[in-house]
Amino acid sequence: MTSTRSTKPAPRERLLATATRLFSSDGIRAVGIDRILREAGVAKASLYNTYGSKDELVVAYLRSVADRDRELWQHRANRAADARGRVLALFDIIRERVEPSTPGSCHIAAAIEFPSPSTDGERAIREAVSDQRHWIADTLRAELIAMGLQDPDNIDDLADRLALLHDGAVTAAMLGEAHTSTMTARAMAELILGMIADPA
C-alpha cells in the first residue's frame, strides 16, 4: 500500500493567499475575518495561532506584496544597462499585469484606509506601508548616487521628485489609466534624470 502526502497548502498559506486576494480587490476594512476564514477553509483558531489577529494578517499581506514588487523591480533592474535604467524600471513595473494588483497600489490603498492609526495593530499596518515607501526612496537615492550625484540635498530633492511621480503613476494605474499615465510619468522621470551629467 502506498500513501500520498497531501498537497493542500497549510492554514497559514491559505489564510495569506485568501487575504491577499480579498484585501487587494475589496479593501482591507471591508473584508471581515469570518469571510476570510470561510473562503480559506480555515478555523478561527488557526488564524490566531498563526497570525494572532486580522491586523497582523494585513501586515503579512503587505509585506508579501512588497516582496513581490521588489522582485519585479530586481528582475528588470538586472537587465538595465545602467543606474538610469534601474530608476526607470520602477516605473516600468507599474505597467506589468500581475496578481494581486498593480505594483505599489496595495500600499497606497492601505495608507488611504488607515490615515490616522490609533491602535498598535493599525500602527503596524502603517509601518509596513512606510517600509515599502522607504524602500522606494532608498532605491532612488542609491541609483542617483550611482549616476554620479554627491550632494545629499540634491540627491534628496531629485529622489523626492521621482517618488512623487511614482506615486502619481501608481494612483493613476489604480484608476485604470496604467499605460498612458505611467508612460507620461516615465517620460517626466527621464527629463529629471537627463539633468544629471554623466560622471567623469
Residue 187 resides in a domain: yes
Give the model confidence (pLDDT) of 116-143 as tens digits.
999 999 999 999 999 999 999 999 999 9
Residue 2 resides in a domain: no
Say what the pLDDT of residue 197 is: 65
Q: Which domain holds residue 151?
A: 61-194
Residue 55 resides in a domain: no
Residue 99 resides in a domain: yes
Find the CATH number of the domain harbouring 128. Answer: 1.10.357.10
For helices 152-174 and 178-194, the axis angle rounded to 10 degrees is 170
Residue 50 resides in a domain: no
Residue 54 resides in a domain: no
Is the model's pLDDT at 2 over the cut of 90? no
The span from the CA of 186 to the CA of 11, in Å, is: 41
3 state SS for 164-191? HHHHHHHHHHHCCCHHHHHHHHHHHHHH
Q: Taking residues 26-52, report their average pLDDT.
A: 95
Residue 77 resides in a domain: yes
User: Cβ(77)–Cβ(93) under 8 Å?
Assistant: no
Q: How many domains does the chain have?
A: 1
Predicted TM-score (pTM) of this structure? 0.91
* pLDDT band with cut points at 50, 70 and 90 for residue 154: very high
Average pLDDT of the residues of the chain: 93
Q: Taking residues 7-30, report their average pLDDT.
A: 94
Residue 177 resides in a domain: yes
Is the model's pLDDT at 195 over the cut of 60? yes
